[in-house]
Structure 1
């Protein structure tokens, strides 16, 4: 059992991502990767080999993403990161100090939208999720009275006091929503925070923004894209980090809109 009280962890299943070695020492923090990849090795991550053939790779990821209170219960605080995110600093503890001093949970805001209803429409437009399940889910939330524009988080980075009873309840409810409705976890979290009166801090050093802590990269399947498509994806992944890339991304979006009209 580790004597450290903070952990950074990720969960990579089905070969979806490449594990990135964290930079710096971060002596006061452990790094843990849950995976089904028997060949995965690391000098800095503790590799925890697990497998559950009864559920999909995506749901295996969600199980570890949502429940550090079960799988990392000896730690008081955790930072979950998606497998395509790199830790770029030896002082990642500063994020814990900054955001968990007054919050039980903190997440980067969504970079494009601040409303689950708008996110639901976007998911349907780009074929991310079952339209029937998404529409049913949004109808249910509207019926309860959940307001539009309440907020939206990206959920690729989550800081938590994961053993806190309020957070445990939130995570259990979140997983239940995924089992009941759409597997798009962005669509349910803010509703549950509203319903359970949970305050969530906004991490402004998210991996899509210029900062010294975290950086977003490609998923493993994206690493082998044709060069042109990979460049376009890089522009959109990093448009919040670089003003030039931001304007290029806007130009590309305008070209797409004009092409769709013609």
Structure 2
């Protein structure tokens, strides 16, 4: 079966990791990137324009989630996040671990989907409005999925042209467009809708005999991410909010001597008693 290994690096979020195992493999290693200057010793760089220029995160997901659209001549794909480095040739990994049509990892740190929702909200990883909307949608229409397994999205082997896998990919992409960009939140719903059951490996997400993660080089944590709340807010409203905040700060600064005086006075009065 024709197989391709690929990753997607959009928006300059981090530098490209090389894959030493590519030299021991006969498979094609493809890196989709919007950086026209990017070069690599182990990846074949395929230049692409972001599918959604104003939303680089979902532009990366467009490449990650839909291999059947991007690799018509290949029946199988091994997707890895850029922060994953393979420690064995991909042919060996697939032969040892793939039981089609879909092989991935169980999440090492969250056992139920609701826990992943909580972490996304707790760390402010995505717009809370979209996350809450997705959570409410699941609670109303598919409450059983909130206790479903969580899967790590950094490694996936997919027989991506099988009809069930095409259905999964399209449903997954639709969910990521409609709700949170965090694809882990949408995968259980897409699997349920398509009827796909994953061959989920019960291995550490961080390290196994065939992979290491995360291997990050010069990650830009401050890279701009699209936010519906921020990007759709009218400029006039943003200016008004900043002006109000400036006025509050000015008043607080003007009142600082009075505040200090009254606090000292209260302390002295307490001591006098």
Fold agreement, TM-score > 0.5 = yes
**Where does residue 133 of structure 1 map in the other structure?**
130
Does residue 139 of structure 2 align to residue 142 of structure 1?
A: yes
Structure 1 contact 133–182 (Cα < 8 Å) conserved: yes
**Where does residue 6 of structure 2 map in the other structure?**
9
- 1:35-84, Cα deviation, whole Å (9 max, x unpaired): 01122111221110111374322122111101111111211111111111
Q: Which residues of structure 2 form unaligned runs of 5+?
A: 223-273
Distance 1:214 1:161, change over 3 A: farther
Structure 2 contact 107–205 (Cα < 8 Å) conserved: no
- 1:4-48, Cα deviation, whole Å (9 max, x unpaired): 811110000111122222123333311000001122111221110
**Where does residue 186 of structure 1 map in the other structure?**
184
Q: Distance in 2 between matches of 1:21 and 1:159?
A: 19
Structure 2 contact 104–200 (Cα < 8 Å) conserved: yes
Q: Distance in 1 between matches of 2:67 and 2:41?
A: 22
- Counterpart among 101, 104, 128 of residue 101 in structure 2: 104
Give the secondary structure class of the aligned counterpart of 2:129.
helix
Q: What RMSD over aligned residues (CA atoms) do the two structures have, in Å? A: 2.1
Distance 1:145 1:44, change over 3 A: closer
Q: Distance in 1 between matches of 2:217 and 2:195?
A: 34
Q: Distance in 2 between matches of 1:223 and 1:138?
A: 26
Give the secondary structure class of the aligned counterpart of 2:79.
strand
Q: Which has the larger radius of gyration?
A: 2
**Where does residue 194 of structure 2 map in the other structure?**
196
Count of equivalent residues? 219
State the TM-score, normalizing by the size of structure 2: 0.74
**Where does residue 61 of structure 2 map in the other structure?**
62
Q: Distance in 2 between matches of 1:223 and 1:141?
A: 30
State the TM-score, normalizing by the size of structure 1: 0.77
Shift of 1:190: 0.9
**Where does residue 244 of structure 1 map in the other structure?**
none
**Where does residue 164 of structure 2 map in the other structure?**
166
Shift of 1:222: 5.7
Distance 1:146 1:19, change over 3 A: same
Structure 1 contact 107–153 (Cα < 8 Å) conserved: yes
Give the secondary structure class of the aligned counterpart of 1:208.
coil
Q: Which residues of structure 1 form unaligned runs of 5+?
A: 225-262
Q: Distance in 2 between matches of 1:15 and 1:72?
A: 23
Q: Distance in 2 between matches of 1:206 and 1:47?
A: 29
**Where does residue 242 of structure 2 map in the other structure?**
none
Shift of 1:206: 5.5
Q: Distance in 2 between matches of 1:219 and 1:153?
A: 24
